[in-house]
Amino acid sequence: MELLAALKGRAFAVGEGGPRGVNAGFIKTERGTLLVDSLVSLADGRFLVETATAKAGPIAGLVYTHEHGDHVIGSAALVTVMGAQAAQGVEVLASEGTAAGIADFLRRSGAELAKQGISPKAPTLVFEAGARLLWGPEVVVVDLGGHARGSSVVYVPSAKTLFAGDLVFNGTFPWIGHADIDRWIASLTALEAWDIETVIPGHGPVGGKDILGGQRAYLERMTRVIAALRARRASLDEARRALTEEFGLTQYPEYFFQSLTMALRETFGFEERQ
């Protein structure tokens, strides 16, 4: 885990740096430091909180872009680093979709995480579609949807900087387990009209505005391949092989293919055949 970039306008990116690495970030504001997501483990969350505090001052808030564990679990470090009383003062923002998704995640995994001493922070402020934080600088949070039940972006207009969450996987095949691909493409198309210079993706290297169009084109290509497979009534195994070949996925880890298989079965309706 490392500080990937100190960006224009007091925005910072933190992550693993590799193409499949998960990213988070923080923004230095007049009200305190605003975290954007919290990474995948207690150790990574600790690095984020300690780095953000050292670079930008005490933590005042955390906004989740979506509900997946690799962006939520690290929030437990707020208590371990700051102490329980101070951590209670941190506002945790999320859209209604993300908050509902996090509640489901904690129902499924909270007990097991607690055995490991990990208690991710639940949202304390829930918004329907968007929020405008006049924290100096202004920070805009909008739930556009597409990748997950909630799929928000965090935008700093004065810095022309966008924390895209998992609407952007830069340089790697995106996780599509519960995605609405058409809405995802529409969300990226909308973002391409915003005044943006820097994009921090949910996964992969920090880039310019062009990575929004790159992700959109990648998803459009994926939908064409999947549509052709469904039109010829391909089996689940045939669909998995076709996507592996089309997108060069042979070197991806086994857990990736487990999630891809789930997505092809549950999201796109491909079935096993004898």
* CATH number of the domain encompassing residue 142: 3.60.15.10
Q: What's residue 1's pLDDT?
A: 87
Number of structural domains in the chain: 1
Domain with 186, as residue range(s), is 2-211
Quick check: 176 pLDDT over 80?
Answer: yes
Whether residue 245 is contained in a domain is answered as no
Q: pLDDT of 253-273, one tens digit each?
A: 998 999 899 999 999 999 998
Confidence of residue 237 (pLDDT cuts 50, 70, 90): very high
Q: Residue 49 falls within a domain, yes or no?
A: yes
**Euclidean distance between CA atoms 159 and 137, whole angstroms:** 9
Structural domain contains residue 224: no
Is the model's pLDDT at 107 over the cut of 90? yes
Q: Tell me which of 57-61, 67-71, 239-243, 270-274 is least confident.
A: 270-274
The predicted pLDDT at position 273 comes to 85
- Binning pLDDT at 50, 70 and 90, where does residue 5 land? confident
Helices 236-247 and 254-266, axial angle in degrees (round to 10):
130
Are the CB atoms for 133 and 188 separated by under 8 Å? no
First to last CA, the chain: 44
Query: Has residue 262 been placed in a domain?
Result: no
249 in a structural domain: no
Residue 203 has, within 13 A of its CA and on its CB side, a CA count of 18
Tell me the two tokens of residue 61.
């808030």
Predicted local distance difference test score (pLDDT) of residue 45: 98
**3-class secondary structure, 82:** helix
Instruction: Decide if 58 is inside a domain.
Output: yes
- Residue 66 to residue 118: CA distance in whole angstroms: 19
> Looking up tokens 């100096």, which residue turns up?
136
Retrieve residue 249's tokens: 């996925």
Residue-wise pLDDT for 148-170, tens only, equals: 999 999 999 999 999 999 999 99
Torsion (CA) 109, 80, 62, 163 in degrees, nearest 10: -80
Decide if 258 is inside a domain: no
State how beta strands 161-169 and 198-203 pair.
parallel
The arithmetic mean of pLDDT across residues 78-92, rounded, is 96
**102 belongs to a structural domain:** yes
CA pair distance 28, 10, nearest whole angstrom: 5
Q: How far apart are CA 60 and CA 209, in angstroms?
A: 28
Indicate whether 75 pLDDT > 90: yes
Burial class (CB in 10 A: 0-12, 13-18, 19+), 142: buried
